[in-house]
Amino acid sequence: MRVAVDAMGGDKAPYEIVKGAILAAQQFPDSEIILVGDEKEIQRELNTYGKPLKNISIHHAPQVVKMDDPATSSIRQKTNSSITRSVELVANGKALAVVSAGHTGAAVAAAAMHLRTLKGVRRPGISAPLPTRHGICSIIDVGANIVCKPIHLFQYGVMATVFSKYIFGIENPRVGILNIGEEDAKGNDLAKETFALFSNSLLNFVGNVEGREIFDGKADVVVCEGFVGNVMLKFAEGIAMNFLSTIKEEAMKSFWTKVGLWLCKPSFKTLKAKMDFTEYGGVPLLGVNGVCIICHGRSNSKAIQNAIRVALQLSKNKVNEHIVSELEKTNTLTANIS
Amino acid sequence: MRVAVDAMGGDKAPYEIVKGAILAAQQFPDSEIILVGDEKEIQRELNTYGKPLKNISIHHAPQVVKMDDPATSSIRQKTNSSITRSVELVANGKALAVVSAGHTGAAVAAAAMHLRTLKGVRRPGISAPLPTRHGICSIIDVGANIVCKPIHLFQYGVMATVFSKYIFGIENPRVGILNIGEEDAKGNDLAKETFALFSNSLLNFVGNVEGREIFDGKADVVVCEGFVGNVMLKFAEGIAMNFLSTIKEEAMKSFWTKVGLWLCKPSFKTLKAKMDFTEYGGVPLLGVNGVCIICHGRSNSKAIQNAIRVALQLSKNKVNEHIVSELEKTNTLTANIS
C-alpha cells in the first residue's frame, strides 16, 4: 500500500514530516511511503537518519503552498506544489492515500479538483474525532464545506457512520444533528430539513444534539455545517488551553496548591493525551475518490506517523467502497433532492 | 427603580427565584422588586423568610410557560403567564426591567411582542459574557436570532460595544466577527458582508476572530449568528464539565493524585467561580425597548440576585439610550440595507 506524504506542508515541515514518515515506514514495513516535495531538502533530512529505508522514496515537487496563500487559486497556479503532486499520485493510481499537514483549504481544493468525488457523493466533508468520556464522537463537517444543503449533511451522516464503524469499531453508530435544542422542530431550515431526511432513512438516527450533549455520549456521529463545525473545533482547542493555563496559574499562587498540582501531574498528562490531536494523527476528507488525510498545521512526527496509520486503515478496511455502497442504498430517498 | 421578576420561570422556581429577589431587595434597598406569578405560591415562599420586605410586592399571574412549550405559540396562548405578565409590566411603564430564568425562547418572544425594539434596531440579540484569562468577551447573538443578516450582526456589534463599555467598563471595546479564519475574505457570505459593514464604521473593529482566538483576548465583543453562538455556548458548558470530571476521575485513580487533587481544590474553586454563570446572573436581550435579562434555567438565588443587579445597572447606566444614540450615528451607513 502506497501513501503519498506532503513533506512540505505544516509548521514543522519538512523535519517532523520526514521523521514521522520514517517512524511509519518502520511500523508498517509492508507499506510504501512517498515523500513529496523538494528533493534536495527531503534527501538532506533523510540522510540524518543513517541507512535509508527501502519503503521510503522521494517524488520531486519544487513548489510549496504557503499558509497565507488563497486556497483554490494557489492550487490552480502552483501546479508543481507538493500538495498538488501528492494528490496527483493518488489520482493517477500511483498511491492509495495522501497525507498533508499543509494549508487545509488548499488540500481540500486539490483533492476535490484531482480526485473528484466518490460515486453518489455530492460534497466531501471532513470528519473530526472529538474525545469524550464516553468515547469518540465524530463531528462532520469541520471546514471543507462552509455552506451546506440538507443533502450534504445527510450524506455526511452516512459517510461518518461508515468511518465510525470501520475505523473506531462502533457497531451501529448513532447519528445526530448539531442543533440549538433537542425538540424535532428546533433550529434553522438546514437542521429541520436534514432532520426529515434522517428520519426517513435507515441510519441509527437519534435526533438533534445540543452542544453540551456531545459530551454526554448521546451520539457517535454529529453532522453540522462546515462553518459551525470549524468554529466549534477551534473554540474547543481554545477553551482547553485556556482551562489548563488558568488552573496552572491559580495553582502557582500558593505553596500547597503548587504541591497539589505537581502531585496531580499524571492525571493532567492522561487528560492531555486524551485531548491530544497527535494521537488521532489526522482527519479524513470523506467522499473523495481516494484516501485523503488532513493533519493539524502544528503536527509533529507522532501525528504524521498516526495519520499514515489512519490512511492505511482507511484503505485496508475499504471505507470508500463501503461509503459508495451505503450511499447507493439511500438513492431512492435522495434521488430528487437538489 | 422597579424590576419585574418572573417568579415561576426556571428549574428551581419559585423557591430560588423568591430567595434571590429577597437577597437583591436587601442589597438594593432603593429598588422595588415585583414577583410575578402564582400569588399563593409566592406568598408561601415569602412567609418562610419572616418579616416582609417593604420593597417586594407580588403581581398575580396564574399561568406558567413550561420548558417544553413551543416558544411563540405559548406566548400567544398563555396570555396570563408569569413571563408575559412580567414583560407587560415593563411595556406599561410599571417596571423598568424584567428578569426571567424560564423558557428562553418564550421570554424572547414575549419581549419582542410586547416591548418592541428600540428606535433603529432591526433585531434584538442576546449578549453572553465569556470569561477568559484576559477578561470578559461578549458573544452576541447566542440564540435570539437564529438566522441573521449582515445588518443584524453589525447592529449587534454596536449594541454590545455600548453594553461592554457601560457595564464592564471597557473604554473602547474591540469588535470582531466570529469566523473560520483571520483573513479578510474568509467565511460565508454573512461573515464577508458583515466585514464590509464594520470596516466602514467608526467601531473599534479588529476583523475576523477564530474560535480559539476568543481566549487570546483578541476582541471584547464577538458577533455571530444566533445558531452558531448558541451551539458554541452550550458546547463550552459541555466541554468545561467534561474537563473537570475527567481530571477528577483520573485523579481518583491513585493515592497521590487524590492528595494532589485535594490540595488543588482552591485553584479549582477559583476556576469554577470564573466560569460560573451565576456570577454574571443573566444575559441581556439587547435591542428591546426596556431592560430584559434572561437567566440560565438552572439559576439559583445568587444568579437571580446578580441578574437583578445587572438589570439595575443597565437601567441606571442608560444602556438603551446609549444604544439608540450610537445606532443613530450609523444611519447613513445602514439606511439602504435590507
- The CATH number given to whatever domain includes residue A68 is 3.40.718.10
- Same domain flag for B252 and B221: yes
pLDDT of residue A116: 93
Chain B residues whose beta carbon lies within 8 Å of the beta carbon of residue A247? 264, 267-268, 271
Mean pLDDT by groups of 10 residues along chain B of 338 residues: 94 93 96 96 92 92 88 86 96 96 92 94 94 89 93 97 95 95 79 93 94 91 96 85 79 83 80 67 93 92 94 96 95 83
Minimal C-alpha gap between B179 and chain A (Å): 7
> Which of A187, A212, A235 has its CB closest to that of B211?
A235
Chain A interface, best mutation among B130, B139, B208, B243, by max A CB count within 10 A: B243
Strands B291-294 and B283-286, by their bridges, are: antiparallel
Q: Domain check: are B128 and B265 in the same one?
A: yes
Sign of the CA dihedral with B9 first, then B12, B13, and B15 last: negative
* pLDDT at residue A314, as a whole number: 95
pTM of the model: 0.89
**Cβ–Cβ of B263/A263 closer than 8 Å?**
yes
Chain B residue whose CA is closest to A270:
B250
Are residues B232 and B274 located together in one domain of the fold? yes
Distance of alpha carbon A127 from alpha carbon A141, whole angstroms: 6
Instruction: Answer yes or no: do A239 and B241 touch at CB < 8 A.
Output: no
Sheet of B32-37, strand order? B56-60, B32-37, B2-6, B97-100, B291-294, B283-286, B125-132, B135-140, B221-223, B174-178, B204-209
pLDDT recorded at residue A234: 87
**Exposed (0-12), middle (13-18) or buried (19+): which is A108, by Cβ within 10 Å?**
buried
Q: Examine the pLDDT at A289 and tell me if it is beyond 70.
A: yes
Cα first-last separation, chain A: 37
User: Cβ B212–A241 below 8 Å, yes or no?
Assistant: yes
- In a shared domain, residues B115 and B126: no
B112 in the same domain as B161: no
Q: Locate the chain A residue with the closest alpha carbon to B134.
A: A242
Pairing of strands B283-286, B125-132: antiparallel
Q: How many Å apart are CA B26 and CA B179, to the nearest integer?
A: 44
Tally of structural domains, chain B: 2
Least CB–CB distance from A133: residue in B146, B245, B262: B245
Pairing of strands B125-132, B135-140: antiparallel
- Answer whether residue A50 shows pLDDT above 90: no
pLDDT at A295: 93
- Going from the C-alpha of B261 to that of each of A260, A293, B240, B247, the distances in angstroms are 6, 39, 17, 9
Rounded CA gap, B105 and B98, in Å? 15
Domain membership flag for residue B327: no
Question: Taking a contact as any Cβ pair under 8 Å apart, which residues of chain A between 271 and 310 contact chain B?
Answer: 271, 274
Q: Is residue B160 part of a domain?
A: yes
B89 at interface of A, judged by CB pairs closer than 8 A: no
Higher pLDDT, A327 or A67: A327
- Nearest Cα to Cα of residue B92 among B61, B74, B120, B115: B115
pLDDT tens, residue by residue, B58-93: 999 999 998 888 888 888 888 899 999 999 999 999
What angle is formed at CA B2 by the lines to CA B1 and CA B6, rounded to 5 degrees?
A: 145
Task: Supply the pLDDT for residue A245.
Answer: 79
* Start-to-end C-alpha separation, chain B: 37
Lowest-confidence pick of A10-14, A319-323, B309-313: A10-14
Q: Does A187 touch chain B (CB under 8 A)?
A: yes
A-contacting residues in B 244-263 (Cβ below 8 Å)? 245-247, 249-251, 253-254, 256-257, 259-263
Nearest to A237 by CA among A89, A88, A130: A130
Answer yes or no: is B70 within a domain: yes
- Average confidence (pLDDT) over A308-335: 93
C-alpha cell, A128: 473530526
DSSP A115: T
Which residue in B has a C-alpha nearest to residue A180's C-alpha? Answer: B231
The answer to whether position A83 is within a domain reads yes
The answer to whether residue A330 sits within a structural domain is no
Is B274 in the same domain as B146?
A: yes
Q: Dihedral (C-alpha) B118, B24, B278, B99: value to the nearest 10 degrees?
A: -30
How far apart are the C-alpha atoms of B235 and B233, rounded to whole Å? 5
Residue in A closest to B183 by C-alpha: A68
**Order of strands, edge to edge, in the sheet holding A2-6?**
A56-60, A32-37, A2-6, A97-100, A291-294, A283-286, A125-132, A135-140, A221-223, A174-178, A204-209
Residues facing A117 on adjacent strands: A288
Query: For residues B137 and B310, what is the distance between their CA atoms, to the nearest angstrom?
Result: 16
Q: Is the pLDDT of residue A276 over 70?
A: no
Residues B100, B249, single domain; the answer is: no
3-state SS assignment for residue B285: strand
Cα B44 from chain centroid? 29
Q: Do B188 and A243 touch (CB under 8 A)?
A: no
Chain-chain contact of B236 with A239 (C-beta, under 8 angstroms): yes
Whether residue B135 sits in one domain with residue B38:
no
Whether residues B178 and B196 fall in one domain: yes
Return the bridge partners of A174, or none. Answer: A204
Taking the Cβ of residue B146 and every Cβ of chain A, the question of whether any pair is shorter than 8 Å is answered with: yes
CB pairs under 8 A between A and B: 180
The CA distance from B195 to B205, in Å, is 9
Which pLDDT value is given to residue B276? 64
C-alpha neighbours within 13 Å on the C-beta side of residue A39: 6
All three cell numbers of A201? 432513512
Q: What is the pLDDT of residues A106-144, one digit of tens each?
A: 999 999 999 999 999 999 999 999 888 788 999 999 999
Say yes or no: A69 contacts chain B, CB-CB below 8 A.
no
Q: Is residue A108 part of a domain?
A: yes
- Least CB–CB distance from A264: residue in B233, B239, B264: B264
Give chain B positions within 8 Å (CB) of A233. Answer: 211
CB within 8 Å: A236 and B188:
no
Distance in Å, alpha carbon of A54 to nearest chain B alpha carbon: 40
Please tell me whether residues B127 and B275 are part of one structural domain. Answer: yes
Q: Is residue B292 part of a domain?
A: yes
Q: What values do phi and psi take at A36, rounded to 5? A: -105, 125
B308 contacts B24 by C-beta, under 8 angstroms: yes
Same structural domain, B55 and B100: yes
B211: closest chain A residue by CA: A235
Residue A145 contacts B, CB cutoff 8 Å: no
pLDDT attached to residue B272: 72
Pick from A182, A214, A215, A268 the residue to mutate for testing the B interface (most B CBs within 10 Å): A215
Partners of A292 in beta bridges: A98
Q: Which of A226, A234, A274 lies at the smallest CB-CB distance from B212?
A: A234
pLDDT of residue B175: 98
Exposure string over B178-196, b if 16+ CB within 10 A, otherwise e: bbbbeeeebbbebbbbbbe
**Interhelix angle B82-91/B104-114, nearest 10 degrees:** 30
Contact list, B183 vs chain A (CB under 8 Å)? 68
Question: What is the extent of the structural domain holding A109?
Answer: 1-118+287-325
Q: For the segment A165-199, what is each residue's pLDDT rounded down to a tens digit? A: 999 999 999 999 999 987 776 788 899 999 999 99
Q: For residues A175 and A321, is the Cβ–Cβ distance under 8 A?
A: no
Q: Is residue B307 part of a domain?
A: yes
Q: Are A235 and B236 in contact (CB under 8 A)?
A: yes
ipTM of the assembly?
0.86
A22: pLDDT strictly greater than 80: yes
What number of other Cβ atoms are within 10 A of residue A199's Cβ?
Answer: 11
Would you call A335 an interface residue with chain B, using a CB distance cutoff of 8 Å?
A: no
pLDDT of residue A169: 94
pLDDT at A241: 77
Whether A257 has a pLDDT exceeding 70, the answer reads yes
- Say yes or no for a CB contact (<8 Å) between B271 and A243: yes
The 10 Å Cβ neighbour count of residue A332 is 9
d(CA B98, CA B2): 9
The reply to whether B127 and B117 lie within a common domain is no
